[in-house]
A and B are shown apart, each in its own frame.
Chain A
């Protein structure tokens, strides 16, 4: 009775809903996830012995988190679930998996990639100092470990997560030093029509902002980051306010982030075609409305395809599964696909509003000092990258990488790559899409030296 082999990478909202739809169709998908427990990052579960109520962990999203976790538990007998397993390569119709020190290649008929996202980072001087964390990381510390990243953190960057994390920290009793947003407040007003596509989400965003104001948390918009200050650890954050005045905030930790970026390495290794996404100012895998990529049998869902958030990820996961099932010759009701596409539409419009209200501050890249560490993996400076263009003639990011090793370190450019592209484009005075994109390389994360290769 061996049916087609369908692999789902990721057990967050997109991966869970994709697996559920495949199970409904009578398949037994293989679900591969790096986490110890399902839920992804957004609905990440706490260790078993913590016992906090889900409302404490997920706030307004508790019901959604519980529903997703329940759904996954129900799926368990019907799927092959491999947790703590890294999907590290896609080659010749097989997905390469690592668990512990053992690697194995699994051939697939369909592959649904729901690999999620990481924080979108614009580095600044001092960002490698102990006490600086990504915003997502700051939230994980609280959600998954009941820890704050410091006694008095400052949150710097832009995007809805900036306000949500500050709110969650303040509610947990932590003194928030300041919330420093690079986006001007007027941008939010301009984005209101698009943001109104999801009134509930908009209301939650407003609630967090108002809550912070009511509780006396200092919030500045339109700031220009200058540096994270400290000798051996974070002791402050220096910015210029919207009028250009220098300000410094004493703190012992910084949560840094400018929205999210998709984890697209596996799609790249699967040779999916990428297109330049003007909204996100980056190259993303090309998909149709249902998540089909240019590579036969490879589908994308959730934030790993483009940043649309958890609700859209649930819909996208189901939709990608429908697409895979259709292509495998299984009957999928046209009405179901139509409904999912309709439900996704306002979320895509909302995403446009978010990118408008909380834009990636591309303009900061040109002014980053030459001696700033751009690559935290190998301590390579912004100046070294600029010299690949000015002295060595690198016309795009992969050549610059070959010359400077920017993006070659063990994070594979996840945290410096977008800023590096902006710096290179500014140095060369060309539009950002002309400097290309860092090509994904296997393994997508470092493998242990002792890795043993199975069949």
Chain B
């Protein structure tokens, strides 16, 4: 059987939920787009259930989507609309969050 992986399907995120999806839906704003997630999701899961990246490397080598998921690698940083830095794997996603993943907004630079 040839695996059918829809790599380019924009509606599918990197992560796959395997149950416990009967949780309360929450809505986030990600780069200006309304994004639905579930209460109890970490920010990392909320973003990667819907998309395939969290941030761009500051060194020009492409997109990143986290690595260790336990707060050690610091490769899942995203930004709030007002310039705050969040470590997506250890931050719970909450209703109404506004997240910026493209073009890091450095504090005080807005």
List residues of A whose CB falls within 8 A of some B CB: 34, 36, 41, 46-52, 118-119, 128-134, 136-138, 140-142, 144-152, 172-175, 177, 232-233, 235, 250-253, 263, 373, 376-379, 410-411, 414-415, 445-446, 448-449
Residues from chain A with Cβ under 8 Å of B45 in the complex: 141, 145, 147
**Cβ–Cβ contact B18 & A172, under 8 A:** yes
Encode B27-47 as 1/0 by CB contact (under 8 A) with A: 000000000000111100100
Nearest A residue to B16 via CB reads A148
Residues from chain A with Cβ under 8 Å of B90 in the complex: 34, 36
**Cβ–Cβ contact A49 & B39, under 8 A:** yes
Q: A137-B66, A149-B14, A411-B74 are in contact. Are A175 and B42 (CB under 8 A)?
A: no
B10 touches A (CB below 8 Å): no
A172→B3 CA distance, assembly (Å): 18
**Cβ–Cβ contact A147 & B74, under 8 A:** no
- Specify which of B69, B74, B92 lies most central, judged by the most chain A CB atoms within 10 Å of its CB: B69
**What is the size, in residues, of chain B's interface with A at 8 Å between Cβ atoms?**
46
Residues from chain A with Cβ under 8 Å of B110 in the complex: none
B73 touches A (CB below 8 Å): yes
**Cβ–Cβ contact B14 & A177, under 8 A:** no
Minimum Cβ distance to chain B for residue A442 (Å) = 15
A254→B26 CA distance, assembly (Å): 29
**Cβ–Cβ contact B67 & A146, under 8 A:** no
Minimum Cβ distance to chain A for residue B16 (Å) = 4
**Cβ–Cβ contact B72 & A253, under 8 A:** no
Minimum Cβ distance to chain B for residue A367 (Å) = 21
The listed residue (A141, A151, A379, A448) touching B5 by CB distance below 8 A is A151
A415→B66 CA distance, assembly (Å): 13
Residues from chain A with Cβ under 8 Å of B52 in the complex: 130-131, 232-233
Residues from chain B with Cβ under 8 Å of A36 in the complex: 90, 92
Nearest A residue to B59 via CB reads A379
Secondary structure type dominating chain B contacts: loop
Residues from chain A with Cβ under 8 Å of B40 in the complex: 46-50, 145
**Cβ–Cβ contact B15 & A128, under 8 A:** no
Those 6 A-B pairs whose CB atoms lie nearest each other, nearest first: A137-B69, A130-B65, A379-B59, A47-B40, A410-B74, A146-B20
Residues from chain B with Cβ under 8 Å of A144 in the complex: 42
**Cβ–Cβ contact B68 & A119, under 8 A:** yes
Q: A233-B14, A233-B52, A379-B59 are in contact. Are A411 and B75 (CB under 8 A)?
A: yes
A140→B19 CA distance, assembly (Å): 15
Q: A448-B85, A449-B107 are in contact. Are A415 and B67 (CB under 8 A)?
A: yes
**Cβ–Cβ contact A411 & B3, under 8 A:** no
Nearest B residue to A409 via CB reads B74
Residues from chain A with Cβ under 8 Å of B21 in the complex: 146
A339→B75 CA distance, assembly (Å): 43
Residues from chain A with Cβ under 8 Å of B15 in the complex: 141, 147-150
B11 touches A (CB below 8 Å): no
